[in-house]
Chain A
Amino acid sequence: MECVFGLVGDGFVIVASDTSAVNSILVHKTNEDKIMKLDSHKFVAASGESGDRVQFTEYIQKNVALYQFRNGIPLTTAAAANFTRGELATALRKNPYMVNILLAGHDKETGPSLYYIDYIATLHKVDKGAFGYGSFFCLSLMDRHYHSGMSVEEAIELVDKCIKEIQSRLVVAPPNFVIKIVDRDGAREYAWRESVKDTPTAQPEALGV
């Protein structure tokens, strides 16, 4: 039921993902951030088995950092995407990672780019992509409304359309989403779309203690 999707606009990439952490029928939390910052100008939005998701994305994040420390220059988005795919491919026939990834980044020389990397190490450079049951709705909406060179406002409008569609049409729809953006000024959080907040714990006075 996890949804991750993203699209490339005019000089930026937007990624959005749901924020529910679920185990069978139990919702652990509704504010789990699944979009990890890889370096100053890259995001990795991941969905899949939660243990694998955290383990793998942290592994990639640390390797990307190590490269920068060793060599004084950051990896390009394409290089990071190919490296990530390579790690998934190497593990595939022994102990696969069940993680689907959208890798978004901005490079000074080549501008914004988005990479679709699924759990069996498929790699595609795309303008728009989505994972999960939500992709059935998102991809159709994006096919209809996306055009290259969208402004941030147009892109957010499309993202909100996708979120609304997921929440109204998907049977166990995640209530909350986080939206992040990466452009030439860096990778940062853009907004949350919350329809449910985690219930606060009861105060002792209220319990009559």
Chain B
Amino acid sequence: MSRRYDSRTTIFSPEGRLYQVEYAMEAIGNAGSAIGILSKDGVVLVGEKKVTSKLLQTSTSTEKMYKIDDHVAAAVAGIMSDANILINTARIQAQRYTFSYQEPMPVEQLVQSLCDTKQGYTQFGGLRPFGVSFLFAGWDKNYGFQLYMSDPSGNYAGWKAAAIGANNQAAQSMLKQDYRDEITREEAVQLALKVLSKTMDSTSLTSEKLELAEVFLSPSGNVKYQVCPPNALSKLLVKFGLTQPAAETS
């Protein structure tokens, strides 16, 4: 019903909905999921990779996790090519701020700025919205560690734990049950991997199908963004009982 209100992004339907924005969110619902968890001493991001192949150069390319600035990283779910544009925009906005103020951009301001860009595509120009949702993880001196989720409408909110992509509702309710306010980074990694393993479609869980990244403070006080290398990730999966110890693979 109301198919005649679908094709233009810049008009409301009679029920007051923006169909193109909602269809964009549908597209994300089919994409690989990502989970973010805020802990006392860091933020954990875990993502499900849809493109798996032994031929993929995993050491240099990531599918889900991107560094925006030294103190902010993002996990994406949705159309990858759309995500690349927005990530580039976010990186430019972060550097433009540092160029003016010689300080790192506060995380919420970066998220807000990117969401303002996304909102533009729902109101004018006649272009479709971006089919991407983000989980932003970062640290700044005003509010410490933060986790934000944003969607194609340009809305964003701060979260203690959030899920985007396929089965995100199931993941979100699992997180709601098991999240504790005083969770440590290690416990957060365990919780994120556990929830993701339950909501992923695949029968067996290997480090090839996952990406894990953490944002935390080094002992010297600098913000570090670290992507977990595949063999370390395999060990973690075994440690948390999510996979059987692997036999030697060729």
Contact = CB atoms under 8 A, between A and B. Distances in A.
A45 B108 CA distance: 32
B106 A71 contact: yes
A14 B101 CA distance: 24
Contacts of A83: 100-101
Nearest to A79: B101
Interface residues of A, number: 10
Interface string B79-99: 000000000000000000001
Shortest Cβ-Cβ A-B pairs, 9 listed: A79-B101, A82-B102, A79-B103, A86-B100, A82-B101, A83-B100, A73-B142, A71-B109, A83-B101
B102 A73 contact: no
A79 B100 CA distance: 8
B94 to A, nearest CB: 15
B99 to A, nearest CB: 7
Contact of B99 (A73, A76, A86): A86
Interface of B: 99-103, 106, 108-109, 141-142
Contact of A73 (B100, B101, B106): B106
Interface of A: 71, 73, 75-76, 78-79, 82-83, 86, 109
B141 A109 contact: yes
A4 to B, nearest CB: 24
Contacts of A109: 141
Nearest to A86: B100
A75 B106 CA distance: 11
A48 B106 CA distance: 34
Contacts of B109: 71
Given A73-B106, A79-B103, A82-B102, 6 more contacts: A71-B108, A79-B101, A82-B100, A82-B103, A86-B99, A86-B100
20 contacts: A71-B106, A71-B108, A71-B109, A73-B106, A73-B142, A75-B101, A76-B103, A78-B101, A78-B102, A78-B103, A79-B102, A79-B103, A82-B100, A82-B101, A82-B102, A82-B103, A83-B100, A83-B101, A86-B99, A109-B141
